[in-house]
Structure 1
Amino acid sequence: MEQALHAAARPRAWPGLVRAMLATVEVTAATLLFADLVIVVVSVLSRYLFDASMVWSDDAARALLLAVSFLGASAALARGENAGVTFFVDRLSRRHRLRIDALVDVAILVVAGALAWHSWQLVEDTSGQTVGAGIPQEIFFAPLCLAAATMIVFAADRLLQHPFARVLGGTAVAAGIAAVFWVWGTYAPGSMPAMPWLMGVAFLVSLVAGTPIAFVLALTTLVFIWAGDLLPGEIFAQQMARGIDNFVLLAVPFFILVGYLMEANGMSVRLIALLQRGVGRMRGGLDVVMVLSMVVFSGISGSKMADVAAVGSVLVPAARKSGQKPGDAVALLAASAVMAETIPPCVNLIILGFVANLSIGGLFMAGLVPSALMALALVGLVILLGSRTTAPVVLGPETGSTKGMWTSGIAAFGLIAMIFGGYRSGFATATEISAFAVVYAILVGTLAFRETSWRGLGRVLRHAATRSGMVLFIVATAQSLAYVLTLQQIPHAIAELLVSISSAHGPWLFLLLSIAVLIVMGSVLEGAAALIIFGPLLMPVARQLGIEPLHYGVVLVIGMGIGLFAPPLGLGLYGSCLIGGVRLEETVWPIMKYLGLLLACLVLIALVPEITMALPHLAGY
């Protein structure tokens, strides 16, 4: 779905071994994801139809989620799909860029090796322990150890793609840095900078160098563990596992899988064709279709990059055919993804609900009106600035017949109704409903469109496992960093600072400062990481100031989304440019007008809580 943002260009060093290992990792992760799906569905049916609870199912589902997440992350590393900020290194000469790439690959190998060693220590420490259902504790941590071992192979493969001199140079620089700090800490520990400064330098340097975000977070945590000498290394692996060891997060791979299934069974392109037919030749028609398509897809797949890929792969080529500048189309595509950040079942809403202990159903309801407001604003702007289409743009023969388009529309809105109705009726939790959404998508592809084969399902499962691993690996590393930041009282200090600044002016200033923090950090970090670090930090302060938690959560998610797609650092904008096949520079000026409009909407949403809280109050949240 998404091309690599930081990938090597030359053939692999050990092509046979790497290909075989990658295939094994992907097939294993896909099989475990399917097994997780079966366990959740059977558990719900057993409880609902026969009043017989499978007491072991939650523990088994969580253990499988850990395995899928870390194996998927390993596959993402092998394919070079881990996103990193390349804005700075892209402006260097090719020679300097390649030298920095080699150093980055050394850092990735070091992190993979540390993760493998510390997770092995964790497996040994927990040997003989069991969880509530009698499942051995090692089952939860062994996949982390195994996945880290495969990461070492893939990381070494990345490194060995460089010439030997460059590998030696990168290794020497990394070893030199480690030696300097070891000597410094051993012989003059009192003169060393405070730990937050060391971590900050490690974070900024690795980020600017283009290191994938997950490895930036992991490396920053390891600096604290190695240089601080306060925590055993097992804590690093333990906190990473803890970061995703929660049944709620199982909704992430399931909703991502739904998005891939929609693309595979042809529902995506048929839905877009249906929307285009409905809009007709109105002013700015193709742009209106793009915004509406993001609204529909965000309510189905839950993954922003999956939505961007599904919509952009169809409508950006259509924009080219109609004579529109592709940079303008990609800018609107990215802005529409920001608008869709709070449309259920958004992955970031699920993650925020998990880390901040908020009702996911309540967040889903709270996000609807704000997203509708932003969608209407974008539609109004593109109509005002757009031109009348002289002829409908042909999206291609794959769109099928009118009957097929209407079948897609009915199927898509049936899926949305099932997602909302399922957990409101009490049939299942939001996480469990995501499993039934997968079953629904498989049945639609098989029975309605007859485009889902077993081979195709296997391919979709592999893609979904890799994408899920990439997202959840960031969640895991962000949790480990959040843990060490908490130990240093950094969140407490920031919270006190914000309270002191806002106390004289009321909650409105705190809301505006929060928006600024999330936009900045959302542009530097991947969205999930920013929410995991700052959600638990800022939410208690919001409660203290009398701000509704659901309202504040929606403000955080939208602010993070603006940062994620804001130039020049936003990783989401990089991904949109890759999907649309345009250079970043072509989108900078067009997207500013859209982001400016969305920022104005966000300020309005933040200062008028009724926009967010009307539906949750009606629904009893």
Structure 2
Amino acid sequence: MSEAAIASSGVDSGARRRATAALLWATDTVAASLLAADLAVVIYSVLARSLFTAPVEWADDVARGLMVASAFFGAASALARGENPGVVFFHSLLPEAWQDAVDDVGAALVLVVAAYVAFHAIELGWITSGQTTGAGLPLQLTFYPMGLGAACMTAFAAEILLERNWQRILRAVIILAAISGVFLLGDTFVPDAMPSSGMLMLLGFVITLAGGLPIGFALALAALIFVWAEGSLPGVIFAQQMARGIDNFVLLAIPFFILVGYLMEANGMSVRLIELLQHLVGRMRGGLNVVMVSAMVLFSGISGSKMADVAAVGAVLIPASRKSGQNPGSSVALLAASAVMAETIPPCINLIILGFVANLSIGGLFAAGLLPAALMAAALIAVSIFFGKPSSAVPPVLVERAAMGRMWLGAGVSLGLIAMIFIGFKSGFATATEISAFASLYAIVVGSLMFRELTPAAAWRSFVHAAARSGLVLFIVAAAQSLAFVLTLQQVPHAMGEFMVGLSQQSGTWLFMLLSILILIVMGSVLEGAAALIIFGPLLVPVASKLGIAPLHYGVVLVIAMGIGLFAPPLGLGLYGACLIGKVPVEQTVRPMLGYLGLLFVCLLIIAFVPAISTLLPKLMGY
């Protein structure tokens, strides 16, 4: 290449990066603004209904439309920052040259999926022009913003692909063209010898997932492979199912509870709670580990996002464990194990998702998860104390009475947020979404007026981070819904249900329970937790009901099993996230993590085969 061509290429690359940075600022701004508007709509609706007995008929439709739009703009921002999770274990086993080729093909596939979603979402908006929602609002106002968000995602995907040199891009295009050509030739000349649409979908999903393709895009691509191979389904059905997957008022609790977690960190609640725990139990045997488990219990009662909890607790306590001489790998392993324990502490996002897809009471699931979480927390604390060393305890710190009083006040205000969430559910005053909205408002007011640490800039950053994180989660939910729709067309739920019922009638419900645990552990390790529950929750919960297993009890078992898989080495995505937060190589955590997971697995078996642990509180609370 000539010097002039190289210079021209450098200028073009710089201009492209500046344009991408400007677009990222725009997607951040739009996603955060839509989330803020959604929060305002929900709070206004609740106040109008409860204080003035004047229900706002349009609030539900507007809130859902804003969430869909915010989710896709937030997912675009997450893609631009490279935050999309994917399975990297198998990819890392390939030779380096193969890794580059697989990465290039993956980047091209992300671009294809994003462009397909964008085109058909906009097409769906055009098709629904003139149609209205139940409240009389234009239906296309849901699909056009979704299409614009996906179009921004397409632009970011194109930038990621174009960062490579033209030879690598050409190689990726040739590989995809060759695969498509083989399929078209086979379908034309030897159709009987070709795999079925369902088999092609399964092969595509397994190969792309093992190749490290981000999970949301691997799920969406699997559904698209079926649509393309079947040939009879229009593309707008795919876009419609993705929108349908997140177009529900219940799921608004996800971005709001994630927002609570970021606000809690920005306004100082996180540090106050951890400081109080350190002064209460930090000087006992294994005190720092006890503080870590206790902090995860408290934080999980405020934020619905386990990775947000891991980040808040790990950012403070992992450095402290290094200073005290503890093995940081063991500390990160305990942090990850505590996140598994916290999977059933309300307001967990995965409980909300399972309640939505399996038609279970979310309040009932919240109640059913408390005692199982208490059992697992007690087991982790007992092990921390038994194996803890006095040298690992936090050294005594003398605190002035006034400072101690401020610490108790700050922690008490933080615990008030937990009380608000639980009282809201118990009283029935509001839904999970409405409670999450008021929890966000509480965190904003306390942080800005009482603690005086939540500046407008910090609050805005919290909205931006929450919009991107929730967009990432909701995009996976949307993609999983599109795959679940395809599985339903193939009657997979019916076939799986008949198989599991027949097997259990022969061997007993205990075998069904064990198989369910195994399925969710395996799928939780290769999929993001939400995707595993969306696909398998609706398949397995009805079968459990037929076999006489209490749905709330069974739902808790599924969520815990999924959590164990999510943090299990070598595939668990949650473990990789905890290691990134703790700045520790995964290899250092494997041995202690397996010990903690073994303990949690024993707890899971006790929970699974002693239903009263899960059903006692729901019965007492009337669920």
Same structural fold, with TM-score higher than 0.5 when normalized by the shorter chain? yes
Q: Which residue of 1 aligns with 2:218?
A: 216
CA distance in 1, matches of 2:282, 2:477: 42
Deviations 1:413-469 (A, max 9, x none): 211111111232232112101000000001111122100111111111000000000
CA distance in 2, matches of 1:288, 1:591: 16
Matched, 1:84 2:86: yes
Question: Conserved in 1, the CA contact under 8 Å of 2:287 and 2:393?
Answer: no
Q: CA deviation at 1:195?
A: 2.1
Aligned pair partner of 2:584 in 582, 607, 617: 582
Aligned pair partner of 2:265 in 252, 263, 266: 263
Q: Which residue of 1 aligns with 2:3?
A: none
CA distance in 2, matches of 1:308, 1:17: 34
Aligned pair partner of 2:101 in 78, 84, 99: 99
Between 349-358 and 82-91, the greater mean CA deviation after superposition? 82-91
Deviations 1:518-567 (A, max 9, x none): 00000011000000000000011001001111001000100100000001
Aligned pair partner of 1:544 in 523, 546, 556: 546
Aligned pair partner of 1:276 in 275, 278, 282: 278
- For residues 487 and 157 of structure 1, do their structure 2 counterparts lie closer, same or farther at Cα, with a shift above 3 Å needed? same
Q: Which residue of 2 aligns with 1:617?
A: 619
Deviations 1:378-411 (A, max 9, x none): 111111111113662599x9xx943342123211
Q: Which residue of 2 aligns with 1:373?
A: 375
CA distance in 1, matches of 2:320, 2:32: 33
Amino acid at match of 2:596: Y
Q: Which residue of 2 aligns with 1:177?
A: 179
Q: Which residue of 2 aligns with 1:34?
A: 36
Aligned pair partner of 1:420 in 422, 427, 434: 422
Deviations 1:468-523 (A, max 9, x none): 00000000000000000110011222222211211123222111110000000000
Q: Which residue of 2 aligns with 1:407?
A: 409
Q: Which residue of 2 aligns with 1:7?
A: none
CA distance in 1, matches of 2:32, 2:502: 50
Which secondary structure state, in structure 2, belongs to the residue aligned with residue 350 of structure 1?
Answer: helix
Amino acid at match of 2:620: L
Question: Conserved in 1, the CA contact under 8 Å of 2:288 and 2:393?
Answer: no
Q: CA deviation at 1:93?
A: 3.9
Q: Which residue of 2 aligns with 1:512?
A: 514
Q: CA deviation at 1:18?
A: 0.4
- For residues 78 and 393 of structure 1, do their structure 2 counterparts lie closer, same or farther at Cα, with a shift above 3 Å needed? farther
CA distance in 1, matches of 2:453, 2:187: 62
Question: Conserved in 1, the CA contact under 8 Å of 2:288 and 2:392?
Answer: no
Which secondary structure state, in structure 2, belongs to the residue aligned with residue 292 of structure 1?
Answer: helix
Q: Which residue of 1 aligns with 2:568?
A: 566
Aligned pair partner of 2:311 in 309, 312, 322: 309
Question: Conserved in 1, the CA contact under 8 Å of 2:282 and 2:290?
Answer: no
Q: CA deviation at 1:187?
A: 2.3
Q: CA deviation at 1:339?
A: 0.2
Q: CA deviation at 1:13?
A: 7.5
- For residues 31 and 147 of structure 1, do their structure 2 counterparts lie closer, same or farther at Cα, with a shift above 3 Å needed? same
- For residues 239 and 12 of structure 1, do their structure 2 counterparts lie closer, same or farther at Cα, with a shift above 3 Å needed? farther
Deviations 1:565-589 (A, max 9, x none): 0011111011011111111111111
Amino acid at match of 1:465: A
Aligned pair partner of 1:72 in 67, 74, 84: 74
Within-5 A mapping of 1:285-364: 285-364=287-366
Q: Which residue of 2 aligns with 1:203?
A: 205
- For residues 555 and 12 of structure 1, do their structure 2 counterparts lie closer, same or farther at Cα, with a shift above 3 Å needed? farther
- For residues 178 and 570 of structure 1, do their structure 2 counterparts lie closer, same or farther at Cα, with a shift above 3 Å needed? same
Q: Which residue of 1 aligns with 2:537?
A: 535
CA distance in 2, matches of 1:166, 1:341: 42
Amino acid at match of 2:61: D
Which secondary structure state, in structure 1, belongs to the residue aligned with residue 389 of structure 2?
Answer: coil
Q: Which residue of 1 aligns with 2:555?
A: 553
CA distance in 1, matches of 2:15, 2:179: 27
CA distance in 2, matches of 1:482, 1:280: 47
Matched, 1:440 2:421: no
Which secondary structure state, in structure 2, belongs to the residue aligned with residue 522 of structure 1?
Answer: helix
Aligned pair partner of 1:484 in 483, 486, 510: 486
Instruction: Give TM-score scaled by structure 2 length.
Output: 0.96
Which secondary structure state, in structure 1, belongs to the residue aligned with residue 245 of structure 2?
Answer: helix
- For residues 13 and 165 of structure 1, do their structure 2 counterparts lie closer, same or farther at Cα, with a shift above 3 Å needed? farther
Question: Conserved in 2, the CA contact under 8 Å of 1:202 and 1:223?
Answer: yes
- For residues 93 and 407 of structure 1, do their structure 2 counterparts lie closer, same or farther at Cα, with a shift above 3 Å needed? farther
Q: Which residue of 1 aligns with 2:193?
A: 191
Question: Conserved in 1, the CA contact under 8 Å of 2:526 and 2:571?
Answer: yes
Q: CA deviation at 1:297?
A: 0.4
Instruction: Give TM-score scaled by structure 1 length.
Output: 0.96
Which secondary structure state, in structure 2, belongs to the residue aligned with residue 389 of structure 1?
Answer: helix
- For residues 240 and 408 of structure 1, do their structure 2 counterparts lie closer, same or farther at Cα, with a shift above 3 Å needed? same
Q: Which residue of 1 aligns with 2:598?
A: 596
- For residues 102 and 89 of structure 1, do their structure 2 counterparts lie closer, same or farther at Cα, with a shift above 3 Å needed? same
CA distance in 2, matches of 1:534, 1:593: 27
- For residues 401 and 154 of structure 1, do their structure 2 counterparts lie closer, same or farther at Cα, with a shift above 3 Å needed? farther
Within-5 A mapping of 1:4-19: 14-19=16-21
CA distance in 2, matches of 1:214, 1:579: 22
Q: CA deviation at 1:162?
A: 1.2
CA distance in 1, matches of 2:461, 2:425: 29
CA distance in 2, matches of 1:314, 1:439: 25
Which secondary structure state, in structure 1, belongs to the residue aligned with residue 507 of structure 2?
Answer: coil
Which secondary structure state, in structure 1, belongs to the residue aligned with residue 370 of structure 2?
Answer: helix
Question: Conserved in 2, the CA contact under 8 Å of 1:270 and 1:404?
Answer: no
Amino acid at match of 1:308: V
CA distance in 2, matches of 1:233, 1:252: 28
Q: Which residue of 1 aligns with 2:27?
A: 25
Deviations 1:173-224 (A, max 9, x none): 1111112112212222221112222111101110111000000000100000
Amino acid at match of 1:286: L
Aligned pair partner of 1:138 in 137, 140, 154: 140
Q: CA deviation at 1:372?
A: 0.2
Aligned pair partner of 2:232 in 230, 233, 237: 230
Question: Conserved in 2, the CA contact under 8 Å of 1:12 and 1:157?
Answer: no
Aligned residues: 608
Question: Conserved in 2, the CA contact under 8 Å of 1:12 and 1:161?
Answer: no
CA distance in 1, matches of 2:232, 2:86: 29
Which secondary structure state, in structure 2, belongs to the residue aligned with residue 14 of structure 1?
Answer: helix
Question: Conserved in 1, the CA contact under 8 Å of 2:326 and 2:392?
Answer: no
4+ residue runs over 4 A deviation: none
Between 158-167 and 299-308, the greater mean CA deviation after superposition? 158-167
Q: CA deviation at 1:92?
A: 3.2
Question: Conserved in 2, the CA contact under 8 Å of 1:29 and 1:72?
Answer: yes
| Identical columns (%) | 61
CA distance in 2, matches of 1:426, 1:336: 29
- For residues 519 and 390 of structure 1, do their structure 2 counterparts lie closer, same or farther at Cα, with a shift above 3 Å needed? closer
CA distance in 1, matches of 2:70, 2:430: 23
CA distance in 2, matches of 1:424, 1:328: 38
- RMSD, aligned α-carbons: 1.5
Amino acid at match of 1:509: L
Q: Which residue of 2 aligns with 1:382?
A: 384
Deviations 1:93-146 (A, max 9, x none): 433322221111001001011111221221121111001111101011112110
Between 534-543 and 416-425, the greater mean CA deviation after superposition? 416-425
- For residues 28 and 432 of structure 1, do their structure 2 counterparts lie closer, same or farther at Cα, with a shift above 3 Å needed? same
Aligned pair partner of 2:64 in 62, 65, 69: 62
